[in-house]
A = this chain, B = another copy of it.
């Protein structure tokens, strides 16, 4: 199985390629991409070779072709539907965000336990949590986003898993238990800040 960092780099290459494309760049070399993504040129070539992506010696890679190949590997050639559970601060920020659409990800509905939050007419409708199971199976939703308080997160994950969700992005700062038929990625902002603080201090220490 291919490591997460490698897949993250593929996403970064793709993003960099979008920028290059916007600037009118048509062909690109491994070292241009390397610089844009802050890795070595051989890393770029090795990553590509793992996935059988090839360019032309002395001619580099065609930007458009490369984007398509990366999108293909990353499973971006069909629109992905996601639901959010928890229409609080984070949940609403995500619902209002328009940037996922251009990445082929649509947030189709949200669910909450608090009736004050319900709003079936909103752009992203907010339903009661009791509707989650049928909504997911009727609409073949594969992605769930957990944006509820930590205490409720495991229970929401269990609901999602049972309903047939295949992957979960979890914002609650606790580690969740899941079967291995479901993929869970955690966004833990406390941890990210903590991590930042470590490296700030580490870098201050090195400088003395």
Residues of A within 8 A of B (CB): 1-2, 4, 7-8, 10-12, 15-16, 19, 36-38, 73-76, 80, 82, 89-90, 92-94, 96-97, 99-100, 103, 105, 142-143, 166-169, 173-175, 180-181, 183, 185, 187-204
Whether the pair B175, A75 counts as a contact (CB closer than 8 A) is no
Give the contacting residue for A100; candidates B168, B193, B203; CB below 8 A: B193
Inter-chain contacts of A169 with B (CB < 8 A): 189, 192-193, 196
Whether the pair B200, A183 counts as a contact (CB closer than 8 A) is yes
The residue on B at minimum CB distance from A197 is: B75
Distance between A115 CB and nearest chain B CB, rounded to angstroms = 21
Whether the pair B185, A74 counts as a contact (CB closer than 8 A) is no
User: Could you list some 17 contacts between A and B, CB below 8 A?
Assistant: A4-B195, A10-B198, A11-B194, A36-B175, A37-B175, A73-B198, A74-B197, A80-B197, A89-B94, A89-B97, A166-B203, A167-B199, A169-B189, A169-B196, A183-B196, A185-B195, A185-B196
Inter-chain contacts of A174 with B (CB < 8 A): 15, 19
A189/B187 contact (C-beta < 8 A), A15-B174, A175-B16 known? yes
The CA of A102 and the CA of B62, in the complex, are separated in Å by 50
Inter-chain contacts of A74 with B (CB < 8 A): 194, 197-198
